C-alpha cells in the first residue's frame, strides 16, 4: 500500500535515508534561493521504494528540492516562484520506454505511407496507389506498419496485390514488426530475387506453390531490397527524432532506450543536443551486426562516447551499449523455438522451429567481446530456444569475468522457459544483469497474429509478468515503437489487461494469470526502466535530488478502472523542471 507523505507522518513512515535527505534539503532550502516552480494540490505518485504519495513538489535548477504536503511546499515559495495548481490531478515520474525506435519510427511517420491502421489488402493497395501518383517513375515508395492480423483477409500483402498500381516504381512495405515486408515485382527485380534464388542464411523468401517469390521477404532476406533503398537524409533523420520527441512529450514519456542505431542517428542526436533540442533522456544501443567484425566496429563507436552512467548533456544522451539479434519474430514465425510454430492458432506449421539470426557460437563470441570491454549488451530474443541461449551466454561470460552492473538484457523475452526464468533471477541477484525488456503491448497490437502463431498453450506463457514479480525478476516496460504505438499508457494497460486488438481467437488468448497490477506496471515504466537506461540515480522516481521529470494525468491511474488505463490523457509533461508539453496550450 502506498504510504501517504503528509507532514508528521512523513518522517516516521519513509526510509531513514529519505527522511534525512529531505530534512537536509528542507534546511538548505531556507538559506538557498526559493524554488523556481512548485506543483501543489496534486496526488503525486512518487514510485519511490515505499510507493509514497505526496501533494506537492518543489523544483529548482531542474531538480526536485522537496516533496510534501501542500502546506510544506507552498511555504517554500518565494515571490518569483511559479506555482502550478494541479487541481487534484495525478502526477507520476516521467514515463520511461526501455525499447523504442524513436529515430527510425519518426522518419517512417513523416515520410512513409502509414499502413498501421489499414484494415484490408485493398486499402493497403489504395494507399500505395495514392502516394505513387506523386512520385517520379523509378522512385521508391516506402510504407510501414501493415499486419496480416489486422487485415480482413488475414493474409500477407503480396507483390501480386501491388503490381497493378506500381508498374514503374519499386515498392517496399515493412511489416509492423520490422522482421518482414513486401516488395513489389519491380523491387524484386532490382534486388535480383527470382524463383531461382536460394534463401540467404537466416532469411526466408516466401514462395507460392510454384516456388515463385510472393514478394514477402523475412529476416535477412529483406536485406537484398533494403540495401537498395536510399537512406534518410540528415535532415529527415533529425526531423524524425524531433517528431518522436514531441509525441513522447504529449504522452508523458521523458526517457527512452533507442536500440539498434548507427552513426547517422548518433550524429543526429548529438546535433540536436548541441542545439538544445534534445529534451528527452535517450540511451542508445549500437547495431552490432551478426559477425565478430561488425561487433568490433560497434565496440569502437561505443567507446568513443563516455561510459554510462556518464552521459552527454547532463543525462540527455548516453551511449549505452550494443544490440545483437539472436532470432526473429513471433509475427513472421521466424523466432527460434523448441517446438514447431503454429498457424491460425491450432494448425501446426510443420517443420518450422524458426532459426537463430546470428550463428549461436559467433553470438557467444560477440557477447564475450562486449562484456570483457565492460559494455552493456541487449539481445533481441523472442523464442524460448533463443532466450535460453542468451541467458546461458550471459551466465557464461559473467562466470568467466564477473562484473556487477552491466545489466545485459533480453529484449522482448516473449516466451522464456522455466530455465530462463530461473537464470534471469540468479543473474539479477548476483550480477545486476539478465533483465527482460518486455513489451506487454505486443499482446494487444499484434496479439491476434501472435496468438495464432504461438498456439493456445504457449500463448499463456507469453510476457509472464506475474511470474517475474513472484520470482523477484525486474523488467523494463516498452513499446518497441513503431512495432506498437508510442504511447506508454498502452503498455500500462496491456500489463494489466492482456487483451488483443481484435479478439480473433478470443479477447484473452494469453490468459490473465500473468497480469500484474498498475503499481507493478507503472514501476516497469519508471523506476525499473530507469535502471536499464543507467539513469536510476537521476530519473524513474520522484525524490529529492532527482531530475524533475514529471507527467500529469487526467485521472489517477492507481484508482481508476484498469480497463480504461489505455485512455489516460497526459495533460502536462515536465522535463528537467521545464514544461515541455501542456495540453491547454495546444
Q: In this structure, what C-alpha cell is assigned to residue 382?
A: 523472442
Least distance between Zn ion and beta carbon 99 (Å): 6
Which residues inside 68-127 make contact with Zn ion, applying CB under 5 A?
none
Q: What is the SS3 assignment for 246?
A: helix
Q: Minimal CB distance to Zn ion: which residue?
A: 480
Nearest residue (CB) to Zn ion, 448 versus 480: 480
Which residues inside 262-291 make contact with Zn ion, applying CB under 5 A?
none
Nearest residue (CB) to Zn ion, 480 versus 497: 480
Number of residues that bind Zn ion (CB under 5 A): 1
Least distance between Zn ion and beta carbon 101 (Å): 6
CA atoms within 13 A on the CB side of 420: 27
Binding mask 474-493 for Zn ion (x = CB under 5 A): ------x-------------
Strand partners, 217: 181, 205
Task: Give the residue from 521, 468, 516, 469 showing the smallest Cα distance to 492.
Answer: 521
Helix, strand, coil percentages for the chain (3-state, nearest 5): 35, 20, 40
Least distance between Zn ion and beta carbon 471 (Å): 25
Nearest residue (CB) to Zn ion, 147 versus 480: 480
Nearest residue (CB) to Zn ion, 103 versus 188: 103
Q: What are phi and psi of 86, to 5 degrees?
A: -80, -5
End-to-end CA distance of the chain: give it in Å, rounded.
36
Q: What is the 3-class SS of 511-570, one letter each residue? A: CCCCCCCHHHHHHHCCHHHHHHCCCCCCCCCCCCCCECCEEEECCCCCCCCHHHHHHCCE
Least distance between Zn ion and beta carbon 492 (Å): 19
Give Cα separations from 109 to 158, 236, 455 (angstroms). 22, 11, 32
Least distance between Zn ion and beta carbon 479 (Å): 9
Nearest residue (CB) to Zn ion, 99 versus 238: 99
Query: Which residue in the block uniquely carries the three cell numbers 561487433?
Result: 295
Binding mask 442-481 for Zn ion (x = CB under 5 A): --------------------------------------x-
Least distance between Zn ion and beta carbon 521 (Å): 20
Residues 6+ apart with CB under 8 A from 120: 151, 152, 153
Least distance between Zn ion and beta carbon 557 (Å): 26
Which residues inside 496-525 make contact with Zn ion, applying CB under 5 A?
none
Binding mask 368-407 for Zn ion (x = CB under 5 A): ----------------------------------------
Q: What are phi and psi of 447, to 5 degrees?
A: -65, -35
How far is 482 from 569, CA to CA, in rounded Å? 20
Binding mask 154-193 for Zn ion (x = CB under 5 A): ----------------------------------------
Least distance between Zn ion and beta carbon 259 (Å): 6
Nearest residue (CB) to Zn ion, 36 versus 480: 480
Least distance between Zn ion and beta carbon 177 (Å): 9
Nearest residue (CB) to Zn ion, 54 versus 282: 282
Alpha carbon 303 to its chain centroid, in Å, reads 24
How far is 428 from 431, CA to CA, in rounded Å? 6
Instruction: Identify each DSSP E strand in 439-507 by its residue range.
Output: 476-477
How far is 215 from 241, CA to CA, in rounded Å? 30
Cis omega (within 30 of 0) on the bond before 309?
Answer: yes
Least distance between Zn ion and beta carbon 13 (Å): 40
Nearest residue (CB) to Zn ion, 112 versus 538: 112
Nearest residue (CB) to Zn ion, 72 versus 437: 437
Q: What is the SS3 assignment for 278?
A: coil
Least distance between Zn ion and beta carbon 461 (Å): 21
Nearest residue (CB) to Zn ion, 93 versus 482: 482
Nearest residue (CB) to Zn ion, 480 versus 549: 480
390 contacts 383 by C-beta, under 8 angstroms: no
Interface residues with Zn ion (CB under 5 A) are: 480
Amino acid at each position: 500500500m502506498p504510504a501517504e507523505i503528509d507532514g508528521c507522518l512523513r518522517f516516521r513512515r519513509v526510509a531513514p535515508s529519505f527522511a534525512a535527505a529531505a530534512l537536509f534539503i528542507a534546511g538548505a532550502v531556507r538559506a538557498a534561493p526559493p524554488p523556481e516552480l512548485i506543483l501543489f494540490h496534486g496526488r503525486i505518485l512518487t514510485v519511490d521504494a515505499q510507493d509514497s504519495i505526496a501533494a506537492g513538489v518543489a523544483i529548482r535548477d531542474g531538480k526536485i528540492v522537496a516533496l510534501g504536503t501542500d502546506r510544506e511546499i507552498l511555504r517554500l515559495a518565494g515571490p518569483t516562484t511559479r506555482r502550478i495548481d494541479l487541481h487534484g490531478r495525478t502526477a507520476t515520474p516521467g514515463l520511461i520506454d526501455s525499447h523504442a525506435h524513436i529515430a527510425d519510427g519518426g522518419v517512417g511517420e513523416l515520410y512513409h505511407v502509414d499502413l498501421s491502421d489499414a484494415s484490408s489488402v485493398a486499402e493497403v493497395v489504395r494507399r500505395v496507389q495514392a502516394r505513387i501518383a506523386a512520385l517520379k517513375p523509378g522512385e521508391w515508395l516506402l510504407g510501414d506498419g501493415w499486419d496480416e492480423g489486422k487485415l480482413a483477409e488475414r493474409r500477407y500483402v503480396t507483390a501480386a496485390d501491388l503490381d497493378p498500381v506500381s508498374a514503374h516504381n519499386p515498392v517496399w512495405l515493412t511489416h509492423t514488426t520490422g522482421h518482414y515486408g513486401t516488395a513489389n515485382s519491380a523491387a524484386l527485380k532490382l534486388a535480383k530475387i527470382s524463383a531461382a534464388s536460394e534463401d540467404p542464411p537466416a532469411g526466408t523468401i516466401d514462395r507460392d506453390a510454384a516456388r515463385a517469390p510472393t514478394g514477402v521477404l523475412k529476416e535477412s532476406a529483406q536485406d537484398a531490397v533494403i540495401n537498395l533503398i536510399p537512406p534518410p537524409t540528415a535532415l529527415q533523420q533529425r526531423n524524425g527524432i524531433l517528431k518522436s520527441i514531441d509525441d513522447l512529450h504529449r504522452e508523458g514519456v521523458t526517457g527512452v532506450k533507442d536500440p539498434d542505431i548507427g552513426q547517422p542517428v548518433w550524429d543526429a542526436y548529438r546535433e540536436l543536443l548541441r542545439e538544445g533540442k534534445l529534451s528527452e533522456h535517450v540511451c542508445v544501443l549500437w547495431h552490432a551486426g551478426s559477425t565478430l567484425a561488425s561487433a568490433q566496429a560497434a565496440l569502437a563507436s561505443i567507446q568513443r562516447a563516455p561510459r554510462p552512467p556518464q552521459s552527454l548533456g547532463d543525462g540527455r544522451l548516453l551511449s549505452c551499449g550494443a544490440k545483437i539479434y539472436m532470432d526473429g519474430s513471433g509475427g513472421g514465425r521466424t523466432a527460434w523455438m523448441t517446438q514447431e510454430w503454429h498457424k491460425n492458432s491450432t494448425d501446426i506449421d510443420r517443420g518450422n522451429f524458426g532459426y537463430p539470426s546470428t550463428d549461436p557460437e559467433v553470438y557467444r563470441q560477440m557477447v564475450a567481446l562486449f562484456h570483457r570491454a565492460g559494455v552493456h549488451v541487449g539481445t533481441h530474443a523472442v523464442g524460448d530456444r533463443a532466450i535460453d541461449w542468451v541467458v546461458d551466454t550471459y551466465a557464461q561470460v559473467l562466470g568467466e569475468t564477473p562484473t556487477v552492473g552491466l545489466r545485459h538484457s533480453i529484449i522482448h523475452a516473449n516466451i522464456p522457459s522455466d530455465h530462463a526464468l530461473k537464470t534471469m533471477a540468479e543473474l539479477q541477484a548476483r550480477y545486476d544483469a539478465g533483465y527482460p525488456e518486455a513489451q506487454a503491448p505486443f499482446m494487444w497490437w499484434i496479439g491476434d497474429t501472435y496468438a495464432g502463431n504461438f498456439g493456445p498453450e504457449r500463448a499463456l506463457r507469453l510476457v509472464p509478468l506475474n511470474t517475474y514479480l513472484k520470482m523477484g525478476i525486474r523488467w523494463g516496460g516498452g513499446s518497441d515503437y513503431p512495432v506498437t504505438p508510442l504511447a506508454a499508457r498502452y503498455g500500462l494497460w496491456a500489463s494489466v489487461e492482456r487483451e488483443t486488438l481484435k479478439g480473433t481467437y478470443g479477447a484473452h488468448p494469453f490468459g490473465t494469470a500473468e497480469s500484474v497490477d498498475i503499481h507493478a506496471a507503472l514501476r516497469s515504466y519508471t523506476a525499473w526502466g530507469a535502471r536499464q537506461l543507467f539513469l536510476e540515480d537521476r530519473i524513474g522516481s520522484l525524490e529529492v535530488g532527482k531530475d524533475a521529470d514529471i507527467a500529469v494525468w487526467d485521472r489517477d491511474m492507481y484508482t481508476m478502472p484498469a480497463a480504461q488505463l489505455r485512455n489516460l490523457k497526459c495533460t502536462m509533461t515536465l522535463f528537467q523542471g521545464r514544461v515541455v508539453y501542456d495540453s491547454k496550450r495546444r
